[in-house]
Amino acid sequence: MPNPVYRADRTGLLLVDPYNDFLSEGGKVFPMIQEIAAEVGLLDNLRATVAAVRNAGIQVFYVPHRRWEPGDYDNWDHPNPTQRLVQERHTFEKGTWGGEWHPDFIPQANDIIIKEHWAQSGFANTDLDFQLKQQGVTHVVVIGLLANTCIESTSRFAMELGYHVTLVRDATAAFSKEMMHAAHELNGPTFAHAILTTAELTAALSDVKGKRS
Domain boundaries, the chain: 8-204
Residue 212 has pLDDT above 90, yes or no: no
pLDDT category at 208 given cuts 50, 70, 90 is confident
What length does the chain have?
A: 213
- SS3 of residue 87 by DSSP: helix
- Residue 7: the pLDDT is 96
Mean pLDDT, rounded, for 141-165:
98
Q: What is the pTM of this model?
A: 0.97
Q: What is the pLDDT of residues 191-204, one digit of tens each?
A: 999 999 999 999 99
Let me know if domain 8-204 sits in CATH 3.40.50.850.
yes
- Residue 213: the pLDDT is 56
pLDDT category at 159 given cuts 50, 70, 90 is very high
DSSP 8-state class, residue 209: B
Name the phi and psi angles at 120, rounded to 5. Answer: -120, -30
Residue 211 has pLDDT above 80, yes or no: no
pLDDT category at 207 given cuts 50, 70, 90 is confident
Mean pLDDT, rounded, for 102-129:
98
Question: What rounded mean pLDDT belongs to the chain?
Answer: 96
Q: What is the pLDDT of residues 21-39, one digit of tens each?
A: 999 999 999 999 999 999 9
CA nearest 175: which of 30, 49, 44? 30
Name the phi and psi angles at 58, rounded to 5. Answer: -90, 140
Position 91, amino acid: T
The more confidently predicted of residues 213 and 33 is 33
d(CA 166, CA 163): 10
